[in-house]
């Protein structure tokens, strides 16, 4: 049986954290990665500045946002992943919100990712999946689809999280559990715990962090058993209100502009900080306004104050140097506050940065480019925060630059 939210948090955070009613978050520690990246930088002003901060005392900052916690090394959207992110100084933590068969809200990146992020295919619950495991055969890869909406909350609670991966060459469900990128790890998977959205609120508050929940697009047709999209959007906000969290501490997100409009109209205090998420799409050119689908002035006029954009939309190649894109400049000129996603999700950068850096891939060739990109995002694109799969890097930069 699931614990009440309060007992759940008490089981996770040292009792000292609750002394006199105040959170006492875990000691913040950068770990070795920021210094490793600084050492890789080319000589110059940025390296000199960041190297000068190697002895600084780490501090929590809202500029550093944990993307699903710290999933470079920890199973995403787990208790452990978010505690790790908080210990790296992330001042804002994310719960991607989806719903179960009985319409309870849980933290998962997608409604249909249980087959890659949990052990469901190796349990009896595999029989409840939308599409069970199909082994690889010839040129056809192995496949499955398991949704949170296939399970009740009680059933969801029994699942064990794993690193997000799938071995598409697998001929058995056990083998399908593999496929982890060689720059990730299984070291921190054992004993990892899933969370409901309400439990994430309790945990993040106890850790001294603020909140950026993302209402995920349903994989099922809405309304679902009488549960409408508006019900879904409202329930997410209601759980913050029930926990006594002020709207000023919450940045609700969605790729669905209608969700953002719903919050603006029906929960204006929360709507003021609602984030409209956008991403690179085919035909997009970060330097050509004719290819953009967002009208910044119109969005601002209807009360959309924040846009969360993928890194590739905010960065451009200017004469062989990373620079802020025309898209970023135009959003700033319209009074839109930008948030960037997601740093350190591309793995090693020796051969480019893949999807996240596709606007500048031809000049990405070293892991230190994470810091160069971060500096451009902060100083030129003027973003208010940066999501990262390893928040210590962003925390270190923000502390050093006084952000």
| pLDDT recorded at residue 12 | 53
Residues 5, 10: Cα–Cα separation, whole Å: 9
DSSP for 366-392, please give it.
STTHHHHHHHHHHHTS--SEEEESSTH
Q: Are residues 251 and 362 in the same domain?
A: yes
Q: Give the count of domains, the chain.
A: 2
Q: Are residues 259 and 373 in the same domain?
A: yes
Does 188 reside within a domain? Answer: no
Does 306 reside within a domain? Answer: yes
Does 237 reside within a domain? Answer: yes
| pLDDT recorded at residue 16 | 34
Q: Are residues 142 and 247 in the same domain?
A: no
Residues 175, 195: Cα–Cα separation, whole Å: 26
Q: Are residues 157 and 225 in the same domain?
A: no
Residues 356, 371: Cα–Cα separation, whole Å: 14
Q: At what angle are helices 79-87 and 197-206 packed, to 10 degrees?
A: 30
* Final residue belonging to a domain, choices 176, 205, 233: 176
Q: Are residues 287 and 211 in the same domain?
A: yes
For residue 257, the SS3 value is: helix
* Final residue belonging to a domain, choices 146, 176, 206: 176
Q: What is the CATH number of the domain that holds 21?
A: 3.20.20.190
Q: Are residues 361 and 298 in the same domain?
A: yes
Q: Are residues 265 and 381 in the same domain?
A: yes
Does 185 reside within a domain? Answer: no
Tens-digit pLDDT profile for residues 67-113: 999 999 999 999 999 999 999 999 999 999 999 999 999 999 999 99
Structural domain containing residue 125: 111-176
Q: Are residues 271 and 215 in the same domain?
A: yes
| Residue 171: HSE in the Cβ half-sphere, 13 Å Cα cutoff | 3
Partners of 253 in the β-ladder: 214, 275
Q: What is the DSSP letter of 336?
A: P
| pLDDT recorded at residue 25 | 54
Residues 147, 221: Cα–Cα separation, whole Å: 13
Burial code of 383-392, b = ≥16 C-beta within 10 A, e = fewer?
bbbbbbbbbb
Q: How many residues does the chain have?
A: 403
Q: Are residues 296 and 154 in the same domain?
A: no
Does 104 reside within a domain? Answer: no
Reference 122, options 72, 158, 92, 90; nearest CA is 158
What are the angstrom distances between the C-alpha of 131 and each of 30, 64, 128, 178? Answer: 42, 37, 8, 19
Does 187 reside within a domain? Answer: no
Residues 109, 111: Cα–Cα separation, whole Å: 7
Reference 387, options 81, 47, 78, 85; nearest CA is 85
Q: Are residues 37 and 118 in the same domain?
A: no
Cβ(215)–Cβ(253) below 8 Å: yes
Q: Are residues 219 and 258 in the same domain?
A: yes
Tens-digit pLDDT profile for residues 284-303: 999 999 999 999 999 999 99
Does 181 reside within a domain? Answer: no
| pLDDT recorded at residue 373 | 98
Reference 315, options 296, 329, 294; nearest CA is 329
Q: Are residues 10 and 157 in the same domain?
A: no
> Which residues of the chain fall short of a pLDDT of 50?
1, 3-7, 10, 13-24
Reference 257, options 276, 232, 279, 235; nearest CA is 276
């Amino acid at each position: 049986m699931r614990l009440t939210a309060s007992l759940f948090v008490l089981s996770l955070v040292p009792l000292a954290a609750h002394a006199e009613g105040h959170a006492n978050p875990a000691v913040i520690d950068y770990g070795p990665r920021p210094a490793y990246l600084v050492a890789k930088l080319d000589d110059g002003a940025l390296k000199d500045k960041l190297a000068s901060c190697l002895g600084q005392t780490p501090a929590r900052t809202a500029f550093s946002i944990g993307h699903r916690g710290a999933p470079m090394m920890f199973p995403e959207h787990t208790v452990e992943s978010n505690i790790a992110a908080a210990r790296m100084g992330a001042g804002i933590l994310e719960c991607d919100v989806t719903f179960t068969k009985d319409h309870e809200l849980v933290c998962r990146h997608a409604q249909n990712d249980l087959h890659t992020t949990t052990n469901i295919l190796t349990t009896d619950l595999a029989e409840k999946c939308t599409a069970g495991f199909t082994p690889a055969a010839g040129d056809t890869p192995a496949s499955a689809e398991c949704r949170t909406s296939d399970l009740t909350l009680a059933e969801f609670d029994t699942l064990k999280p794993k690193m997000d991966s799938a071995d598409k060459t697998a001929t058995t469900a056990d083998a399908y559990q593999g496929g982890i990128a060689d720059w990730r790890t299984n070291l921190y998977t054992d004993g990892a715990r899933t969370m409901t959205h309400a439990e994430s609120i309790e945990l993040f508050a106890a850790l001294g962090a603020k909140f950026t929940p993302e209402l995920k697009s349903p994989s099922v047709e809405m309304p679902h058993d009488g549960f409408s999209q508006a019900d879904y959007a409202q329930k997410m906000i209601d759980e913050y209100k029930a926990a006594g969290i002020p709207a000023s501490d919450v940045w609700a997100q969605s790729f669905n502009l209608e969700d953002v409009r719903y919050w603006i109209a029906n929960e204006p205090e929360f709507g003021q900080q609602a984030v409209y998420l956008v991403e690179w799409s085919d035909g997009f050119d970060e330097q050509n306004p004719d290819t953009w689908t967002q009208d910044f002035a119109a969005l601002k006029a209807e009360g959309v104050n924040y846009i969360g954009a993928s890194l590739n939309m905010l960065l451009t190649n200017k004469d062989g140097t990373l620079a802020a894109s025309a898209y970023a400049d135009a959003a700033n000129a319209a009074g839109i506050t930008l948030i960037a996603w997601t740093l350190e999700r591309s793995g090693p950068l020796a051969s480019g940065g893949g999807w996240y850096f596709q606007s500048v891939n031809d000049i990405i060739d070293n892991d230190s480019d994470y810091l160069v990109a971060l500096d451009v995002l902060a100083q030129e694109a003027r973003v208010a925060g940066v999501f990262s799969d390893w928040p210590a890097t962003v925390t270190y930069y923000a502390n050093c630059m006084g952000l």
